[in-house]
Amino acid sequence: MTPHADLIQFIKSLYPDQDRIALQEPRFGGNEKKYLLDCIDSTFVSSVGTYVNRFEDMVAEFTGSAYAIATVNGTAALQVALQLAGVQAGDEVITQPLSFIATCNAIHYAGAQPVFIDVHPDTLALDPKRLEQFLSTHTRHDSAGCINKSTGKRIAAVVPMHTFGLPCHLEELLEICARYGIPMVEDAAESLGSFYHGRHTGTFGQLGTLSFNGNKTITTGGGGMILTSDPELARRAKHLTTTAKLGHPYEFVHDEIGYNYRLPNLNAALGCAQMEMLPHLLDSKREVALAYAAFLNGSDIRLMTEMPGTRANYWLNAVVLKDRDEREAFLAATHQSHIMTRPVWRLLSELPMYSHCQSDDLSMARKLEQQVVNIPSSARLP
């Protein structure tokens, strides 16, 4: 018997008749082709067209966000959201070391440098106690805001990320941010369809951002979205991501340095069809997560599940194994069986570009980095 043979058999039974079982595959079972053809027939495949507005409206309605501004990808959305929250060159931004590289890169593109604070074992996301500890010992307040005593730089934002779609400790983090006068920007790239006390993730911070990359819960090929409840921030988000062009029937005048971060209409057409599928996809992903939970109940493998009061989208299920050796054995055995599994990201704080950045001891993140593995989580085929 190979190690974890039972779990491997169970994964195969969840996704029968597949030679290779992916981690998270897109599903196109609705109006995708119809809307794409309509978009091509209209000739408006690029930066102008009605699908963009429709997609934004659908996402705003689903998330309950007052405004939703489509962008070319999730990284661009986060960069602009940070800038709109007031992040400037030379600032620092607090985030978690356990995330996809985009979180850190967006902070860098906005001209700031990340500071890494440890994660909570129940969410794999920013730990409010650790954040409080860092801010109370390492910062002072002056007229410019919250200042890092060891670098003299301003801490301009806190960016929690809802890891694998598990909502983080939003209430506690928001309270701390408010007390220290630091805006929160949520990286909700992985959590479309995840709710905290009934409210959608990404709508708690001053701004929040989504991603529609090919591996996410729904996809536009590539795409992102900025969420905010502030009409002025929403107007600025649209302006900045569309080259800061002033409205005029034929003249090209721009009033600041903007970005060509607009989502093409073609991608938005795909997004409209995918949004129609979203409730069904979320149901199916929840069924998969519940099946894993029932199967692993009583075993020594811990499955990451939503905290009480929250609802996860179960974008990627994650198991916590005993140690690095068990993780290596599990990865090897699953890959041998053509089942895609993946260790959690290397800590961002260990990558050469970011290893010089300040952090707390990151003891929990270092431990989890050895133990956490994602297992197949696609919505099941009908």
Residues in contact with ligand PLP by the rule CB under 6 A: 73-75, 78, 99-100, 102-103, 161, 187, 189-190, 211, 213, 224
Nearer CB in complex with ligand PLP: 103/334: 103
Smallest distance, Å, CB 2 to ligand PLP?
Answer: 31
What DSSP string runs through 79-101? HHHHHHTT--TT-EEEE-SSS-H
In the bound state with ligand PLP, the residue whose beta carbon lies nearer, of 103 and 201, is: 103
Determine contact, residues 236/19, Cβ cutoff 8 Å. Answer: no
Taken in order 334, 339, 344, 348, is the CA torsion positive or negative?
positive
Phi, psi of 154 (to 5 degrees): -80, 135
- Comparison of 39 and 189: residue with beta carbon closer to ligand PLP: 189
Nearer to ligand PLP, 189 or 319 (CB): 189
Q: How far is the CB of 324 from ligand PLP (least distance, A)?
A: 23
The one-letter amino acid code at 161 reads M
Q: What is the DSSP string of 195-225?
A: EETTEETTSSSSEEEEE--TTSSS--SS-EE
Q: How far is the CB of 172 from ligand PLP (least distance, A)?
A: 20
CB of residue 21 to ligand PLP, shortest distance in Å? 21
Provide, rounded to whole angstroms, the least separation between the CB of residue 74 and ligand PLP: 3
**In terms of DSSP H, where are the helices of the chain?**
5-14, 32-42, 50-63, 74-84, 101-109, 128-138, 170-180, 231-241, 265-296, 324-336, 363-371
CB of residue 225 to ligand PLP, shortest distance in Å? 10
CB of 224 to ligand PLP, least distance (A): 5
CB of 209 to ligand PLP, least distance (A): 7
Give the pair of three-digit tokens for residue 326: 């068990």
Q: d(Cα 187, Cα 13) in Å, to the nearest integer?
A: 34
Residue 65 or 220 having the CB closest to ligand PLP: 220
Nearest approach, Cβ of residue 56 and ligand PLP (Å) = 16
CA dihedral over 205, 158, 313, 54, signed as positive or negative: positive
CB neighbours of 142 closer than 8 A, spacing ≥ 6? none
Q: Which is nearer to ligand PLP, 147 or 263 (CB)?
A: 263
Q: Of 104, 218, 166, nearest to 368 (Cα)?
A: 166
Position with the least CB separation from ligand PLP: 74
The nearer residue to ligand PLP, 216 or 236, going by C-beta atoms, is: 216
Nearer to ligand PLP by Cβ, of 211 and 378: the residue is 211
Shortest CA distance to 254 belongs to which of 241, 270, 263? 241
Residues 334 and 351: their CA atoms lie apart, in Å, by 27
Nearer to ligand PLP, 219 or 334 (CB): 219
Q: How far is CA 112 from CA 5, 83, 153, 154, in A?
A: 46, 10, 10, 10
